[in-house]
């Protein structure tokens, strides 16, 4: 489907490209440790949304199932690592959540588990073209929503005119991983991965542009002038 002299030359390095993309994806998930460290420092998870952690578990499970259907080793081990990190972060979040706030956490977990179980059961029906197509469509939407999570802070970023709240290391890792996964998708001729990563590149570009438009130092600089 996707055939160019460049791709033909990179075919022999396909798995290495997938491994590099996987490492950057894992590095992106490692950024969650900074959130967990801040939760530990404050002694509570209050004010932090668990959606990235709980949602990451569900997404990783579905991506693992899809990767096994594709028989793509790089995608399989990446999904295993991201699932492990997501589970660890979720447990960490639960530990530091006060009893009064655990009800909302349990409801979110139940909702994500229900959706994940339903989609997994559908995917378990087989490897037919219809199943793969629909599962690929759903995963594309979920993955793009996950990548766009930092943009949920867009209103506060514009109001404060500072990108200090955005996780720059995670966004840079996500951008690098997106480029490599796009190349990997072209090499294995998977339309869903290609389309997903092209759109993801746009989202990453928007997020990176916020660091140029609203530098993190702007806010602190303004405060110093006021003093």
pLDDT in tens, the chain (227 residues): 566 777 777 777 888 888 898 888 888 888 788 889 989 999 999 888 899 899 999 999 999 999 999 888 888 999 999 999 999 999 999 999 999 889 999 999 999 999 999 999 999 998 888 888 898 889 888 888 887 877 777 778 888 888 777 777 778 888 898 999 898 888 888 888 888 889 889 988 988 898 888 887 644 444 444 44
**Greatest distance between any 2 Cα atoms in the chain:** 66
Rounded CA-CA distance 95/44 in Å is: 9
Provide the pLDDT for residue 161.
Answer: 84
Other beta carbons within 10 angstroms of residue 6's beta carbon come to: 10
* Residue 226 pLDDT: 45
* Orientation of helix 191-213 relative to helix 168-187, angle to 10°: 150
Give the pair of three-digit tokens for residue 56: 């990451």
Domain membership of residue 200 as a residue range: 5-213
Instruction: For residue 220, tell me if it sits in a domain.
Output: no
| Residue-level pLDDT at 33 | 86
pLDDT at 15: 82
Q: What is the pLDDT of residue 225?
A: 44
* pLDDT for res 215: 86
Residue 167 CB coordination number (10 Å): 17
219 within domain boundaries: no
Q: 115-122, long-range: CB within 8 Å, 24+ apart, which pairs?
A: 115/58, 116/57, 116/58, 116/61, 116/62, 119/62, 120/61, 120/62, 120/65
Give the number of other CB atoms < 10 A from CB of residue 198. Answer: 12
Is 62 domain-assigned? yes
Domain contains 221: no
Instruction: Classify residue 136: in a domain, yes or no.
Output: yes
SS3 97: coil
Helix (H, G, I), strand (E, B) or coil at 143: helix
CB atoms within 10 A of CB 124: 10
pLDDT at 153: 74
Quote the pLDDT of residue 155: 79
Q: Cα 104 vs. chain centroid, distance in angstroms?
A: 22
| Residue 24 falls inside a structural domain | yes
The predicted structure's pLDDT at residue 54: 95
Tokens of 134: 């629909």
Burial class (CB in 10 A: 0-12, 13-18, 19+), 160: middle
Measured between alpha carbons, how far is 186 from 190 in angstroms, rounded to an integer? 6
Instruction: Please give the model's pTM, rounded to 2 decimal places.
Output: 0.80
Residue length of the chain: 227
Of the candidates 98, 135, 115, 101, the residue with the CA atom closest to the CA atom of residue 54: 115
The pLDDT assigned to 207 comes to: 86
Any alpha helices (H) in the chain, and if so which ranges?
A: 5-10, 14-30, 32-42, 51-70, 73-95, 102-123, 129-147, 154-160, 168-187, 191-213, 216-226
| Residue 222 within a domain | no
Distance between CA atoms of residues 71 and 223, nearest Å: 54
**Number of domains making up the chain:** 1
- Asked whether the beta carbons of 143 and 10 are under 8 A apart, the reply is no
């Amino acid at each position: 489907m996707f055939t160019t002299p460049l791709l033909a030359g990179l075919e022999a390095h396909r798995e290495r490209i997938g491994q590099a993309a996987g490492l950057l994806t894992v590095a992106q998930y490692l950024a969650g440790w900074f959130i967990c460290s801040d939760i530990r420092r404050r002694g509570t998870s209050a004010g932090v949304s668990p959606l990235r952690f709980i949602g990451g578990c569900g997404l990783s499970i579905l991506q693992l199932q899809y990767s096994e259907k594709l028989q793509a080793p790089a995608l399989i081990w990446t999904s295993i690592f991201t699932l492990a990190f997501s589970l660890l972060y979720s447990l960490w979040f639960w530990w530091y959540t006060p009893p009064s706030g655990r009800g909302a956490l349990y409801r979110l977990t139940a909702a994500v588990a229900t959706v994940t179980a339903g989609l997994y059961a559908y995917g378990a029906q087989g490897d037919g073209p219809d199943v793969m197509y629909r599962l690929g469509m759903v995963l594309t939407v979920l993955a793009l929503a996950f990548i766009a999570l930092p943009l949920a802070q867009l209103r506060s970023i514009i109001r404060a005119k500072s990108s200090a709240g955005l996780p720059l290391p995670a966004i840079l890792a996500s951008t690098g991983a997106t480029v490599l996964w796009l190349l990997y998708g072209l090499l294995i001729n998977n339309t869903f991965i290609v389309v997903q990563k092209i759109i993801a590149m746009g989202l990453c570009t928007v997020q990176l542009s916020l660091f140029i438009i609203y530098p993190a130092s702007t806010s602190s600089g303004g405060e110093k002038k006021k003093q």
